[in-house]
Structure 1
């Protein structure tokens, strides 16, 4: 996947994007994306941007597609970069691998394009009511915004189904407190890495945070399944 030195130093075509242009295009979808994060992903050989004669990175449309895919897999499924890279390596080799962590839902393509929903469209797509969305915001289950992504749509759809069983957003206020406690655990675990101020360490801290969150999700799901088994 890594570009050869000869490829990396060839003059970049005019339609390639600089780091600044990449950030401008992707930050609306991924607000925490930074230049250090891009460099970190390159170090892990998930992307291979071209280089100009002066050494500046230039990103192709393929690089952009791969970036969206990697960032989406981290955000939606908390997958470690080594798993994502292995999956991409398999794709590059012409195989059709199964992506771990997505067995319960559709496997995303290499070209994910997240749709953004204004408030009224979000409510309509979720089959919700304006009051349900307002209640979800009041319960800190959804952060108010001008436009919402697919994850928020999934949450609102779940709230619609829960409401049919008599579970209202106000009953789930503890979920926010639980999430804050988990965040505290993650931040404590990151202290040794966070003390280092270089860009590479910041990117590693971000990756480690996602990995820890994924492990916590596994533990939480196991506890819920165990508790449900006692109801049988």
Structure 2
């Protein structure tokens, strides 16, 4: 196991400079493929506005695949059930502890399922609120009030929770916000331009935190 982890760290280190992102495909019946235009639009916004050089061809990778180690940034979304088996749980844990980053954006209805699966990945860690002073809220654009509200579902305040290791944010979970809907093509949800801009700017903060900080 020791040598496997050394290999994983080495592979990830080789790829941290490549600026590649991918959508995470998972089991359980949830629609991991929702918001298909979201990540491409966010990547283009970042390349145009915050001097990133991210590949605009978005890959899809499965939780249990070694291919996840090619991507420093993984994005996960959906509305429903999520399930990680034992192999997937270990693979995702190794990826995150080795320097990878996962953004989970609840598209509405995902929260109770992903919380359960994350306890498998991190049995000794909890999702905790991210303070409004954290760099993820100001690294490119200022969000002094924290996570913006993009879509109304239950009328609840948007929440940003994270899992940390040695003060490094390695997983960000956003819900009651629906950032991904704001990243999609304008005609998909007919969001006002200022709402889409807020979503894209917050997404750019996340990307910059991963790739530049």
The TM-score normalised by the length of structure 2 is 0.29
Compare relative contact order (CA 8 Å, sep 6+) and give the higher one, 1 or 2.
2
Q: Which has the larger radius of gyration?
A: 1
Between Structure 1 and Structure 2, the one with more helix by share is: 1
Between Structure 1 and Structure 2, the one with more strand by share is: 2
The TM-score normalised by the length of structure 1 is 0.28
